[in-house]
Amino acid sequence: MIGVFFLLFSKSMGKVVGWLRAFGALTILLALLASNTPGRIGLIPSASADPEVEDPIPAAIDEKGLDALRGVPQPLGKLVRVDIPDTVSHFPHRPEYVYLPPAWFASKQPPQLPAVMMIAGQGDSPEYWARNGQAVQIANDFAAEHGGNAPILVFVDFGGYSNADTECVNGPRGNAEDHLTKEVPQFIVSKFGASPAASSWGLVGWSMGGTCAVTLAVTHPEQFSGFVDIVGFLRPSLGEDADTLGELFGGNKAAYDQHDNLAVMAQRGHYPRTAGWFQVTGHPGRVNEAKSDSDPNVWVDPDSTNAATTLCEAGRKVGIACSVYVGPGRHLWPFARSTFADSLPWLAGYLHTPGVPEIPLVPSDI
């Protein structure tokens, strides 16, 4: 009788194990497909296929550790972990980070430096630009060539603890826009002495963050003047218009229209001092590329390319200086890193970083 029991038990367990193996294989297959499927990359974690996602974040210090460093020259800038109050937005955000260049520590009274908001891709947490994007190392290298001067970098949270796709707007998924426009700048100015002038505030965005950079720049020119959009899209979107209107804006058509970047620019009519750097992936020198022109080292994304050219053309009509650049690479963090390094000399000069000359944008590649 016991032998029969064990025989039946082993057969049933064999079926369970076989089912679990099949389920596990299916799960792995779906995960692999999700992480390697091109398309509307902004709707999935931008680093999902990035083998460097586990890079260690540069050592961050707490705010309380800054007092002892004021007036003590530092060979490198410092990354500071901050907790920015959400008294206006009530947006439940995660810890955010601020990079302070060596010039900030050179005297007891820090200079009034410009600031750049660093916005990562959908699914990324605030420190991704510092970790995967190596923005701290890039800024330190830049500062070493400019007497310790570089912009303050602010690594912001746009997804909150739920890591939602907010597209940096206010809505059912949280008041991300209020956090980024009514809390972050005010905190950076009051806590670190950054310049409050719009002419000294910039935005750098990667993937969905690139869309955010453009949207914040054109809807809030009184706060931001320079932006870098790295393979972003035309406007805040969840893919389908109905989904965007309902899930992102809670059915508020007026709010939806107020974040249509093309319509916003046309309605404002003129931007006295706004400029942007658009960067897309592709083969330099080629025109009208399709996705089929992609290869293992270069992803061609007509959606982001068309968005960049359309936004830049519309921007020029209302006084926004801009250029669209094409570079070899894939929709992964190494491309974001190289673009930030390439664009920083222009952006730092445009934002009036001390000791950094202002240089014009090079004409567009396309």
How far, in Å, CA of 103 to CA of 77, rounded? 8
Residues 157, 159, 163, CA angle at the centre, nearest 5°? 125
Q: What is the pLDDT of residue 222?
A: 98
Q: What is the pLDDT of residue 287?
A: 83
How far, in Å, CA of 286 to CA of 313, rounded? 19
Contact (Cβ atoms closer than 8 angstroms) between residue 344 and residue 116: no
What length does the chain have?
Answer: 366
Arithmetic mean of pLDDT, 244-272: 96
Exposed, middle or buried, 41 (CB in 10 Å: 0-12/13-18/19+)?
buried
Q: With the C-alpha atoms ordered 360, 128, 353, 182, is the resulting torsion angle positive or negative? A: positive
Contact (Cβ atoms closer than 8 angstroms) between residue 168 and residue 215: yes
Quick check: 31 pLDDT over 50?
Answer: no
* Structural domains present in the chain: 61-351 (3.40.50.1820)
Q: What is the pLDDT of residue 47?
A: 40
Contact (Cβ atoms closer than 8 angstroms) between residue 45 and residue 123: yes
Confidence category of residue 5, pLDDT binned at 50, 70, 90: very low
pTM of the complete model beyond 0.75:
yes
Amino acid at 276: G
Arithmetic mean of pLDDT, 198-203: 99
Confidence category of residue 34, pLDDT binned at 50, 70, 90: very low
Q: What residues are paired with 230 via a beta bridge?
A: 206, 279
Quick check: 88 pLDDT over 70?
Answer: yes
Q: What is the pLDDT of residue 146?
A: 98
CA-atom Rg of the chain in angstroms: 23
